[in-house]
Every structure is written in structure tokens, then in C-alpha cells.
Amino acid sequence: MKYLNLYNISLTAILSLLATACAPSTVPPKAGGYYYNGIYFGQNLDENYRHGIKDGCRTAQGEYTKSHRLFNNNQSYEDGWFLGRNKCRLK
């Protein structure tokens, strides 16, 4: 009986972890944050980061777009560009 209880607890824990891992991670629009191309990118993103996301998404969709000046001189734009390119590529 002791082993059956341990088995049930273990099984419940594993199933709970699996259920939460499969849950959608979308944030409803009313919660705020930045969306581009139907993809949620986060909250409190500065203008250069959002610009990088847009350019990175366009690049991922086949229209190479990058401000080389910003990419080489602004870490926020560069980070946003890579994030946009990677997330939009999955769509």
C-alpha cells in the first residue's frame, strides 16, 4: 500500500508537469505588451527593440530588412532583430 501511494503521488506530479508544459503561453491582448505579426514579444520594450523585431520578422519572411547603423551601434535593436527573425521564422 505504501508503494501504491508513492506511485500515485509520482504519477500525479509527472502529469501535472506535462500538462503545464503543453499549455499555450500566449498573453491576451488586454494584458498589454508588444505584438507584431500576431506574435507576442513581451512588455516594456523600447523603440529600438521594437524596430529590430519588425525588421527581423521581415527578414525571416524573405524581405531582408536591417538597419546596419542601428545593428552595429545599438544592442537593443540587435537583440530585437535576432528575436524577431527567430520567432517569425517559426510561424
Q: Is the confidence at residue 7, as pLDDT, over 80?
A: no
More confident position, 20 or 41: 41
What is the C-alpha to C-alpha distance for residues 90 and 5, in angstroms, rounded to an integer? Answer: 42
User: Lowest-pLDDT range, 15-24, 42-51, 56-65, 71-80?
Assistant: 15-24
